[in-house]
Structure 1
């Protein structure tokens, strides 16, 4: 199943970034595999690059590990803290953790600016994930501290500032968002190391996101992968300058 949602409820001051295609969805939908294969196929026709717009990719974690003295400890600590603090149902993070979370949000905003410049240079950019300001929680690519749970003067100020940062990022809309839909049982079968309840929660949140009125194409991630890839390529070809191309290549 494929659904095209052309939203109209966007902020009047928002800007569509021509040449930026975002792929979003819950864990288990195959975002990383799809974005890699999209780039491999589209590079045959125009300059195309993949960028990660989540919080910390595996590559970023490796960079943190290489920091002198504290690198390995810090990476493990941040990974543990991120898992415990990214859900709004949990208590607010410690102040030191909130400061680090805010720093990661600033890092994400800087990465988005780099992606925008890359797209404006004429490169077709395929992003894995995309920030949003509608639902709090790093788990959903939203603000991490959360104004809903912030306590104390300093953390409340920090959370409000982080929310404004995400609202600013949301003003930059991709030319197209490909949202991969999945049910919790299928997602859990693909990611058995994840919490079933957390997957269910994230799937529920992802389908509600409107990304500030961006055009969204919804694809069924349960379908055979070659069908998902072909439909994604067709959707991108409909908005980007892609010459006529043959069937998608998986290998």
Structure 2
């Protein structure tokens, strides 16, 4: 149990920002419960953690693990496990939603000090108990932090262990990482007591190596020789998860997995885990509404909000500006060419100049091919999103197939063709029934007025706008949680409500 008094540490400035309410409650609960805990990275990084730009690294005594996990949950955090191959039993991640700012907070909880390159933290620094006993509270409602000597020693050891020529993250961000280390050492330098630093070093290394480590920290912590780096790593060899050839193979495998994941995330978007899975398993979140209600904007916003912390894929179920699958792409390109020669569309269309005439034979044949291509595109995407959710992804969809209401977004199309053969109708209906039987976990209905739709979609038939707004109210998606949001409100309010609805189902 920590009993040290709150006191200034690490050169704390009076203008250091206060933690968001969620973190403040967590720190207070840890202290009230008497846990042995602290934030083990430099306090200079706290503003980024408070703003959601980086994670907050917490060290908690292993004996307090169960109580700490319960406190995290009670304070509103949700467990978010790392992806396969990147998890470690001594570490776990929790996500929290700061309602006031809309920021997603990431508390990275360590029960052991596990160090090494970002993709394979292989070593342990067995000093958790001593470091926690010497930790101290920052002023205000801020967290506990390490004593300056412990912080400097830990920072130096990390510098010797964390760089690997096989780690693309370290290579790409080498200059940025070095600059962070320099700033951290510069802040610690005037606070370090050399005697206390020597005592802390001798708890880990033999007297000779401890002396050289102390001299390096005081003289030039960023300029340690390769020989000293090898000695530091060798002194911790008994604390490795694996060594030798096995460590090299594991590191290489994780590097390849990371590179494929980065390429997949940017270009392929296949449902292969590249980072952290969703708390409690994958989810499908669908945004529905009439054209011009802001579905694409909301789906993009949620992907950007969750994407840095959880694996997210976005799927577009429409036939407009979004990306089609390989099944639909050639038909979509051909439809764009044909549409130039069609001046008037038959009854049932939503945009452009619409007549009261039923479809003619040529239009009917072309439209039947289009309807089949659209149905096959939706089937392909339905299979993709269900696999992605099963693998732990958050799937965000712009629209979702439905068979409840004719002549409404993303429903069957062949109803417009009176002469369409029954077998073709059955084939199409089977695909939309598949979506009916696998509804999204969350459906967010974005509600707007007819004037908003008319302004954003000037080519859309005014009478059809009123009809589709009424249809949106009746759409049920049996089995899904439905949240209705007034999308006419200011964007900030809509964004906050959408984030809250998504957070509630995570």
Identify the TM-score tier after normalising by the shorter chain: 0.7 to 0.9
Give the whole-Å Cα distance in 2 for the aligned partners of 1:64 and 1:166: 16
Alignment of 1:93-242 (within 5 A): 94-137=364-407, 139-146=408-415, 150-152=417-419, 155-240=421-506
Deviates more, 1:40-49 or 1:178-187: 40-49
Number of aligned residues: 217
Contact conserved, 1:18 with 1:119, CA < 8 A, in 2?
Answer: yes
Contact conserved, 1:18 with 1:175, CA < 8 A, in 2?
Answer: no
Contact conserved, 1:98 with 1:155, CA < 8 A, in 2?
Answer: no
Higher share in strand: 1
Contact conserved, 1:150 with 1:159, CA < 8 A, in 2?
Answer: no
Taking CA–CA contacts closer than 8 Å with sequence separation of 6 or more, which of the two structures ends up with the larger relative contact order?
A: 1
Give the 3-state SS of the residue equivalent to 2:431 in structure 1: helix
Change (3 A) 1:84 1:30: farther
Match of 2:287 in 1: 23
Give the whole-Å Cα distance in 1 for the aligned partners of 2:325 and 2:339: 9
Query: With structure 1 as the length reference, what TM-score do the two structures score?
Result: 0.74
Q: CA deviation at 1:115?
A: 1.2
Structure 2: which 5+ runs fail to align?
1-280, 351-355
Larger radius of gyration: 2
Alignment root-mean-square deviation, CA: 3.2
Give the whole-Å Cα distance in 2 for the aligned partners of 1:113 and 1:187: 31
Give the whole-Å Cα distance in 1 for the aligned partners of 2:316 and 2:454: 23
Q: CA deviation at 1:56?
A: 4.8
Give the whole-Å Cα distance in 2 for the aligned partners of 1:215 and 1:90: 40
Match of 1:13 in 2: none
Contact conserved, 1:136 with 1:142, CA < 8 A, in 2?
Answer: yes
Contact conserved, 1:22 with 1:178, CA < 8 A, in 2?
Answer: yes
For 1:136-172, what per-residue CA distance to the aligned partner results, in whole angstroms no more than 9, with x for missing partners?
24x52110101xx5434x6233123212221122111
Structure 1: which 5+ runs fail to align?
1-16, 241-251
Contact conserved, 1:179 with 1:216, CA < 8 A, in 2?
Answer: yes
Give the whole-Å Cα distance in 1 for the aligned partners of 2:449 and 2:417: 32
